[in-house]
Amino acid sequence: SKTISKCYVQVTGMTCASCVANIERNLRREDGIHSILVALMAGKAEVRYNPAVIHPAAIAELIRELGFGATVMENCGEGDGILELVVRGMTCASCVHKIESTLMKTNGVLYCSVALATNKAHIKYDPEAIGPRDVIQVIKDLGFTTSLVKKDRSASHLDHKQEIRQWKRSFVVSLVFCIPVMGLMIYMMVMDSQLSNAHTHHNMSKEEMEARHSSMVLEYQLLPGLSVMNLLSFLLCVPVQVFGGWHFYIQASRALKHNTANMDVLVVLATSIAFLYSLIILLVAMAERAKVNPVTFFDTPPMLFVFISLGRWLEHVAKGKTSEALARLISLQATEATIVTLGPDNVLLSEEQVDVELVQRGDIVKVVPGGKFPVDGRVIEGHSMVDESLITGEAMPVTKKPGNTVIAGSINQNGSLLISATHVGADTTLSQIVKLVEEAQTSKAPIQQFADKLSGYFVPFIVAVSVVTLFAWIVIGFVDFEIVEKYFLGYNKSISAAEVIIRFAFQASITVLCIACPCSLGLA
């Protein structure tokens, strides 16, 4: 008997079904090639050949001569079928042993493990030699009941609705409180510039008097050291810090538990420090009954949270769009198939309904008019028109006659067809598309990986810089107080030099943190 080996060739440059037909037709003519199966979406050809006559490298060369790229795939484990079963009726370890040893003796089963505690069996098999129904039959013959592990076809893991809602809420809350804070800030800036102009030309006009008056309202101290401006900013800042920042705090704490520093850690660090520093400074000013209102950073957290939660919200909306397309694709898959047994001259002997996962390669599947094709296959008998628009986008039905290929998920229109299954389970065109889209979603763009890596270093780096700033200014202050005096305007002359220095140093280091936090890298 001739020994027959099997190899897989990765084929690139195939664009449509005619490329597949071209490769299959030409290679079948060659000596030593027993059969060939090409999957278009996976870009993979499975070739069974006689090693005495031809070897894989020569096969790949033949495909190259037809104008496609071809490389032999080393890991041939790709072709193994994997089966997950629930087995009922096992009572002890000997049952497990009985099932495992019987299956391992069965031709075509490569690996098998049965867990008594979970009633699950995990089986690897060679789809050439054996199929899932045969395996189930073997277990049934031993006296156990068995069924497939039900796959979740609803694609619920692709649902981003909850995250979209959560970030939208977070964005809206931050925005509502951010607008007044920004308004106050801009107002104060405009007024300050008008006042400084007025100081230079001693003759104040009426408008400038009014400007000065309205800015006085905001600077007016309700309690010594507590101005209207600061009180308003504080009140607007608290809800943002709590509601807007809630998810950031949760994620930052998770990241820190695993000793990593991500963007969330920076955001939380900067906003919390800005908020706490401003609060403490206010309390100190009130305790001192300061005449000059302290400089606070209450405007930082709301603005940061607005931008970042907007970014997160948009990101999830985009993800949701792709996922929706994917969920629709998954819903196109047929759930059941009608398998028929043929006698001589293609006479129907019997037919049975089975789960689509149980269809094995080489099965004859009957598809009635209006039915979906459960697997990829070749037509054996019958003529029909088929709507393949899900894959090709072609609205016109395509004629199918014996020898034509059909695609899983497409819809049979007017005639009944018998097809022989060529690609089943995860190898069908539809499953491959779903897999491609899923991989595209889960894999990060290289630039994104780079950014994540950088922000891992970026966070500790910024924290270090702000600590250095803090100590540098303290040292400078004690060495040469005049420098600090030059930059730290409007401090209260009654407080000690040491306190002025420490306050200024803190202000500088907080500024570093707050400015670095919404770093363009992270936002982008």
Q: List Cβ<8 Å contacts ≥24 apart for 151-159.
A: 151/357, 153/330, 153/331, 153/333, 153/335, 154/327, 155/323, 155/326, 155/327, 155/330, 155/331, 158/323, 158/324, 158/326, 158/327, 159/320, 159/323, 159/327
Query: CA 77, CA 59: separation in Å to the nearest integer?
Result: 19
Contact, 376 vs 428, CB < 8 A? yes
State the alpha helices, DSSP H only, in 17-142: 17-28, 56-65, 93-105, 132-141
Residue-range domain boundaries for the chain: 5-73, 81-148, 157-200+207-323+445-516, 333-438
- Give residues with Cβ within 8 angstroms of 10, minimum separation 6: 43, 44, 70, 71, 72, 73
Nearest CA to 286 out of 218, 226, 222 is that of 226
Contacts of 504 (CB under 8 A, 6+ apart): 473, 477, 484, 487, 488, 491
User: Domain 81-148 - what CATH class?
Assistant: alpha beta
Q: How far is CA 186 from the centre of its chain?
A: 39
Cα separation, 327 vs 389, in Å, equals 17
* CATH 2.70.150.10 given to domain 333-438: yes
Question: How confident is the model at residue 386, as a pLDDT?
Answer: 93
CATH class, 5-73 region: alpha beta
Is residue 409 within 8 A of residue 373, CB to CB? The reply is: yes
**φ and ψ at 47, to 5 degrees?**
-115, 130
Spatial separation of the C-alpha atoms in residues 442 and 296, rounded to whole Å: 42
For every residue of 364-387, DSSP letters joined together read EEEE-TTPBP-SEEEEEE--EEEE
pLDDT tens per residue across all 524 residues of the chain: 567 888 888 888 887 778 888 888 899 888 889 888 887 777 888 888 888 888 889 999 999 998 888 988 876 555 677 888 889 888 888 888 899 999 999 888 988 888 888 888 899 888 778 888 889 999 999 999 988 877 655 555 566 778 788 888 888 888 888 888 888 878 877 776 776 666 655 565 666 666 556 566 666 777 777 777 788 888 888 888 888 788 888 878 877 877 766 667 777 877 888 788 888 878 887 887 777 676 677 777 787 788 878 877 887 787 777 777 777 777 888 888 999 998 888 788 888 898 888 888 888 999 999 999 999 999 999 999 999 888 788 889 999 999 899 999 899 999 999 999 988 887 888 888 887 877 776 666 677 667 667 766 777 888 889 899 989 988 888 888 777 777 766 555 656 677 778 778 877 887 787 676 655 555 55
C-alpha separations of 90 from 104, 142, 197, 207 in Å: 18, 11, 91, 92
Domains 5-73 and 333-438 agree in fold: no
Tokens matching residue 317:
């909306």
Note the helical H segments in 71-116: 93-105
